[in-house]
Chain A
Amino acid sequence: MSDPKAAWMPDWQNMQKQFFTAWTDAARGGVAPSMPVHEGFDVWLKTFGGRDSGNEVLDKVVGSARQFAEFMQGVVGQLATTRPDLATPAGMREALEKAMGGLTAQKNPIVDALRGISSEGAKGFEDMYREWLKIAKPLEADARNYMNMPAFGMNRESTERQQALMQAFTDYQDQNTRYNTLMFKASRLGLDKFESKLAERSEPGREITSMRGLYDVYVDAAEEGYAEVALSDEFREVYGAMVNAQMRVRQMVQGEVERSTAAVGMPGRTELDSVHKRMHDLRRRVASLEEQLAEAVAAMKAVTSAPPAAQGRRSRLLRPRSRGQARPAAKAKAAAKPKPVAAKKAPTAPPSQSKRALAPQCRNRPTVVAGADHHGTFENRPQIRPRGSRALQPEADRRRRRVAQAG
């Protein structure tokens, strides 16, 4: 049996063609189709098991086509079936507004368009609010009970929190209303612009000749109306206030949920944030240490790989020597004996970058050889040992030796 969904494209194309033909005929003075075309979309959608086909793109296509169909049915249907005088720009605008069921804050094409954006990959503030309001709803009911109660006694803090939460809910609703009022204003402005554009396009040579053309003019007008409002100072203030109000509600709800879950031993947001902050700090430290280590290793490699003549006395000490090789005893003794600072010969030139980087390693070397190096870096280098060997002799051995000498 063939998959009915696999054949969706020819059906879709046919429907679109029928759709455009029918409404173009209607616009040219014919009679509008008796069955609303968007109902046809609904029938077609049933093939996919309802409005949610499971295919994001398909749903968007169908949703948009429905919106288009409603638009056409509104405008052209009015034109074809009721009043011929509606063929003026003002009449078209009136027809569209009527088709929308009258423009109100609730029935508003921009709000519809914004809601239509919501999908698996795009979720707006309203979606987010709706989603977690499922959790917050009981809290809202609780908060409402506390709204007018005086806060005192052992539950004072809790009562105050509930009252603040209720206030935040109310504030968000107020800000949302202000936002929707502006969207209503934008829709009205869009219709004004639609009317103006139709008037412009009624000039000879600029007439709209297709349904798509008419729809495109409507979209241009709606976008312009929306943009004008969205770029206004008032919108900037209202949008910010709406977002901030929602965040305050959400933050308070998160706090309440965290308090509840903490009672049963579940980690909350605060606890996880703390862990993540520590992780982040550690990652930064590790990255920094890795870089320092890499620099030190690179500097050491640069020195050890350089020809012997280019290396200073200290760097020569880093070169491994075979066990049978004679130790420069005199030099070792001289190195062990501290010299007066004034006796040191001043360097004729500053040390190279690589030697500077190596210097701390050399200075620390006796300590490393004395047993502090747990990484084994220098442990097989006996030529370094004399400098620290005396310090390493156990005190008991030295005492035994002194006793023997005295004896």
Chain B
Amino acid sequence: MLRKLDDVHYGVTAKEAVYREDKVVLYHFKGDKAPTAKTPTLIVYALVNRPFMTDLQEDRSLVRNLLARGEDVYLIDWGYPDAADRYIGLDDYINGYIRRCVDVVAKRHGLKAINILGVCQGGAFSLCFAAIYPEKVKNLITMVTPVDFHTPDNMLSHWTQGMDVDLFVDTLGNVPGDLMNYCYLTLKPFRLNHQKYIGLVDILDDKAELENFLRMEKWIFDSPNQAGQAFREFIRDFYQANKLVEGGLKIGDKDVDLKRVTMPVLNIYAEQDHLVPPSASIPMKNVVGTKDYTVLAFKGGHIGIYVSGRAQREVAPTIHDWLSKRA
């Protein structure tokens, strides 16, 4: 039994790589039936952790649920940056990789604009992308996406304010994934490091639950290093200067004006999110330019929004219904 438990995987839905560039791979998911949606949806995940939280296991998969409802789903896998990638900045990620992936998907479907589903930091990237290239985004969905980084309950942001991020990145180069993980765990050191494992005793005789637990553990500790330049820019412009709200954000030579986000927006935040507090996400309504803004407050946490039973019942159906009305 132990051997079986050790052998857990995530990323369960069949997929095909349709575009590669550097370490970035654009995947197209294959559902059990042909998609009925005319406009495909591209998932833009955060740079931290692996994007397969959206496709963790068969019965806990946002991707699978969307496919089952007829959506056509693509996903960008950022890969694992190494020292040769330390100079990759937000310009490369947003005006480079994301734009080219969007173009590839649009071209495959003969469209000018596609749907984008941004997750966490990927949601912030998606907002920037939609502001710079509104003509390429038909509908924008953001999940657990921070917009206002200066709310009083944002512990991560609080900790970055006194950091000399230039010194930090110049010294470390890329920021180790292990260090990122450590920082996340120190947000709640007792709960995330002790209480969680004490709770394991409750499921020790439940093989399926144990596998779920181990799968989640594997995902949590599978953290790519962060490309130094992108980390520097994200901390400086988003966390420290709060430019998404305050204005003045530039990605490469492109101005980011969220008033240009005029396509329909669905913003989903988690009420118990300790990484992106609701207060950081809710203000999106006031800064985007769209008149078609929908918000969903999910009863759960930053991870539960993908993997909990409630998430399976609520999140994908909401996204699908919302998209269907805007097809």
Contact = CB atoms under 8 A, between A and B. Distances in A.
Contacts of A57: 197, 213-214, 217
A123 B222 CA distance: 13
A124 interface: yes
B224 to A, nearest CB: 12
A244 interface: yes
Contact of A279 (B84, B153, B214): B84
A87 to B, nearest CB: 24
Contacts of B220: 121
A236 B162 contact: yes
A316 to B, nearest CB: 29
B191 interface: yes
Interface stretch (A108-116, A154-162, A258-266): A108-116
Interface in B159-183: 159, 161-164, 167-168, 170-173, 176-179, 181-183
A251 B172 CA distance: 8
Contact of A68 (B163, B198, B204): B198
B179 A16 contact: no
Interface string B16-33: 000001100000000000
B318 interface: no
B155 A61 contact: no
A269 B222 CA distance: 26
B83 to A, nearest CB: 6
Nearest to B183: A124
Contacts of A188: none
B221 A9 contact: no
Given A113-B189, A113-B193, A284 B204 contact: no
Interface in A101-133: 110, 113-114, 116-125, 127-128
Contacts of A240: 159, 161-164
Interface string B281-301: 000000000000000000000
A272 B196 CA distance: 42
A215 B193 contact: no
Contact of B162 (A56, A239, A254): A239
Interface string B221-254: 1110000000000000000000000000000000
A56 B220 CA distance: 12
B82 to A, nearest CB: 10
Contact of B197 (A61, A125, A236): A61
Interface stretch (B35-43, B85-93, B124-132): B85-93
Contacts of B183: 124
Contacts of B155: 227, 230-231
A56 B178 CA distance: 14
Given A121-B220, A121-B222, A251 B1 contact: no
B167 A251 contact: yes
Given A122-B185, A123-B179, A61 B153 contact: no
Interface string A251-283: 100100000000000000100110011011101
A247 interface: yes
Contact of B195 (A124, A216, A243, A279): A216
Interface in B130-156: 152-153, 155
A6 interface: yes
Contacts of A6: 1-3
A219 B190 contact: yes
Nearest to B213: A57
A374 interface: no
B158 interface: yes
A171 to B, nearest CB: 13
A99 to B, nearest CB: 16
A117 B217 contact: no
A164 interface: no
Contact of B221 (A64, A118, A122): A122
Given A110-B189, A276-B83, A284-B92, A247 B200 contact: no
Contact of B186 (A9, A117, A250): A117
Interface of A: 5-6, 8-9, 12-13, 16, 55-57, 60-61, 63-65, 67-68, 110, 113-114, 116-125, 127-128, 212, 215-216, 219, 222-223, 226-227, 230-231, 235-241, 243-244, 247-248, 250-251, 254, 269, 272-273, 276-277, 279-281, 283-284, 287, 291
Interface of B: 1-3, 6, 21-22, 83-88, 92, 96, 100, 152-153, 155, 158-159, 161-164, 167-168, 170-173, 176-179, 181-183, 185-186, 188-198, 200-201, 204-205, 213-214, 217, 220-223
Given A8-B2, A122-B221, A241-B162, 16 more contacts: A9-B204, A12-B201, A13-B205, A64-B197, A68-B194, A121-B177, A125-B182, A215-B195, A219-B194, A226-B190, A236-B159, A237-B162, A239-B162, A243-B168, A247-B172, A281-B87
27 contacts: A9-B1, A13-B201, A16-B201, A55-B6, A57-B213, A57-B214, A60-B197, A63-B197, A64-B198, A65-B198, A121-B178, A121-B220, A124-B183, A124-B186, A223-B191, A226-B190, A231-B155, A236-B158, A241-B162, A243-B162, A247-B168, A247-B171, A251-B171, A276-B85, A277-B87, A283-B22, A291-B100
